[in-house]
Amino acid sequence: MTFLYDIGRVLLDFEFEPRLARLMPAGVEDGEARLARLLERKDDFEAGRIPADEWTAWCLEVLGSDADAQVFRETWQDIFTPNEPMWEVVRRLKEAGHRLILFSNTNAIHCPWVFEKYPQFSLFDEAVLSFEAGEVKPHAPIYETAVDRHALVPEETLYIDDLAQNIETGKAFGFHCWQYDFNDHASFEEWLAGFSLFSRRIAS
């Protein structure tokens, strides 16, 4: 079986807005609006349409920050916490011989840094990353890229993501899909165990 894994809120939890808020000057009254401007444009960055240096300069301007580019990059990167229960599943799947592929909206500041920070990502065989593919989930082209590049067989592919809109596109491609809830890992384990083709092989 092949497993397509999202990164954020599946393999890694993250705290995005509170970290970036630290870069704004004290007493800023429109802080939420400034962060919203960043989020509105983030898909373009994660689709690789904005170079990292240009993105960094623009974000610092929007935030009104006097931080330098390196501080911004470090702040942008330092948002993650590993989801250990899911990593235990990944290790079991790897030991059982399943194919593991990262399938994530991410960007040129988080990658390859996140793979160096968390060496457990080496358990994954391959990756389809939005900033390299030039498209973001939930849009169909990045799913088509994953299918074509890795010769995916939909009925033999399990896709785990935390966002409903991404899961809906996955279902349209015929994948077995699970919308992951970071606070309910047990339900994911129950779903996984229901696949009789391999449930015995991944039992702990």
Give the right CATH number for 2-13+81-193 from 3.30.70.270, 3.40.640.10, 3.40.50.1000, 1.10.760.10: 3.40.50.1000
Q: How many helices (H) and strands (E) does the chain have?
A: 10, 7
What does the pLDDT read at residue 203?
A: 43
What does the pLDDT read at residue 79?
A: 95
Instruction: For residue range 186-198, list pLDDT tens digits in order.
Output: 999 999 998 755 5
What does the pLDDT read at residue 195?
A: 78
Segment holding 164, helix H or strand E? helix 164-172
Q: What is the pTM of this model?
A: 0.93
Give the start-to-end residue ranges of the domains of the chain.
2-13+81-193, 17-77
What does the pLDDT read at residue 65?
A: 96
CA distance 81 to 93: 21
CA distance 77 to 56: 12
176-179 and 157-161 beta bridge pairing: parallel
Helix (H, G, I), strand (E, B) or coil at 129: strand
Instruction: For residue range 40-51, list pLDDT tens digits in order.
Output: 999 999 999 999
What does the pLDDT read at residue 196?
A: 53
CA distance 105 to 16: 14
How high is the mean pLDDT in each 10-residue block of the chain (204 residues)? Answer: 97 94 93 95 98 98 96 96 98 95 98 97 97 98 98 96 98 98 95 69 46
> In this structure, what token pair is assigned to residue 202?
């991944």
